[in-house]
């Protein structure tokens, strides 16, 4: 079985967020324990598994995502990576529909090679910063929002871009503050650089101290910053060491995430299910 490593939310190899992608030929997923073993072996923030569905249904492919430690409800960059593989290998054209734990998702390919994902918008709820959060994160929050069931993060607004970039969290302490992790964000210092807001994503609760570029986080960042800026179409920079851009478009209960992807490894999985 072929396994591919795809850098998502970037147009350059060795940047953005790498994801493992396995397209299964079976009509159902193998045992979750086996999928988890493979994801742990791949040891990237996410490995995506997809299998085709019968024609005529509401979706074309069933999709699941695993970190090295657990299965998750929603993942943007590994969905982008999966759609990229489907299109570049001729398995799909136009719009691809996926069914996943978080519901129906779609991906639409564009002539320039970029892809737009259609994801549910995170339902934000403002909260008081829990005791110890500032110490664990290493910065004082300006505001804190819960991001809802499928993401399970705290969205933490910080004072400025420099504060976000300088964060060095205590991951063991941060793990106690949300189900998945913490999204730290601030407005861009200089929007002329091509982005409106900056973020970083820390997810020790699912075995990822820092994620390079988190598509699912932008389903919360989009409504947060669209409300602040009064614009529905924005660009976010996730300022990890690898870095990557996510173009966001708020469409009510849905958020569109646009980015590019590059396949960097195409190999063979030498084991059976």
Residue 182 lies in a domain: yes
Same domain, yes or no: 202 and 231: yes
| Domain count for the chain | 2
**What domain range is 169 assigned to?**
125-252
Q: What per-residue confidence (pLDDT) applies to 150?
A: 87
Residue 273 lies in a domain: no
DSSP state of 39: H
Q: Which of 166, 168, 213, 218 is nearest to 196 (CA)?
A: 218
DSSP-assigned beta bridge partners for residue 245:
237
Same domain, yes or no: 73 and 146: no
The verdict on whether 135 is a catalytic residue reads no
Instruction: Examine the pLDDT at 273 and tell me if it is beyond 80.
Output: no
Q: What per-residue confidence (pLDDT) applies to 271?
A: 86
Q: How far apart are CA 172 and CA 45, in angstroms?
A: 18
> Which is catalytic among the residues 25, 33, 37, 46?
46
Instruction: Examine the pLDDT at 253 and tell me if it is beyond 90.
Output: yes
Residue 41 lies in a domain: yes
Same domain, yes or no: 19 and 84: yes
Same domain, yes or no: 58 and 74: yes
Q: How far apart are CA 9 and CA 210, in angstroms?
A: 16
* Averaged confidence pLDDT in the chain: 96
Q: How far apart are CA 129 and CA 65, in angstroms?
A: 30
| Percent of the chain surpassing pLDDT 90 | 95
pTM across the whole model = 0.96
Residue 239 belongs to domain with CATH number = 3.10.310.10
Instruction: Examine the pLDDT at 112 and tell me if it is beyond 90.
Output: yes
């Amino acid at each position: 079985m072929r396994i591919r490593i795809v850098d998502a939310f970037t147009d350059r190899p060795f940047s953005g967020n790498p994801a493992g992608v396995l397209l299964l030929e079976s009509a159902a997923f193998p045992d979750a324990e086996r999928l988890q073993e493979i994801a742990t072996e791949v040891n990237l923030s996410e490995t995506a598994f997809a299998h085709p569905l019968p024609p005529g249904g509401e979706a074309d492919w069933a999709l699941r995502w695993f970190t090295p430690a657990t299965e998750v409800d929603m993942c943007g960059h590994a969905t982008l990576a999966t759609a990229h593989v489907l299109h570049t290998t001729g398995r799909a054209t136009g719009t691809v529909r996926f069914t996943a734990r978080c519901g129906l998702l779609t991906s639409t390919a564009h002539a320039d090679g970029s892809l737009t994902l259609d994801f549910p918008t995170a339902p934000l709820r403002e909260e008081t910063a829990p005791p110890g959060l500032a110490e664990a994160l290493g910065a004082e929050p300006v505001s804190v929002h819960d991001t809802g069931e499928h993401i399970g993060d705290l969205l933490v607004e910080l004072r400025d871009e420099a504060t976000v970039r300088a964060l060095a969290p205590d991951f063991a302490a941060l793990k106690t503050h949300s189900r998945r992790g913490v999204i730290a964000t601030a407005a861009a210092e200089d929007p002329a650089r091509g982005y409106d807001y900056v973020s970083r994503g820390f997810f020790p609760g699912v075995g990822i101290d820092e994620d390079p570029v988190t598509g699912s986080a932008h389903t919360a960042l989009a409504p947060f910053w669209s409300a602040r800026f009064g614009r529905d179409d924005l660009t976010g920079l996730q300022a990890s060491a690898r870095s990557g851009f996510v173009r966001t478009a708020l469409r009510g209960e849905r958020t569109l995430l646009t980015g590019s992807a590059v396949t960097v490894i195409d190999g063979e999985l030498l084991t059976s299910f």
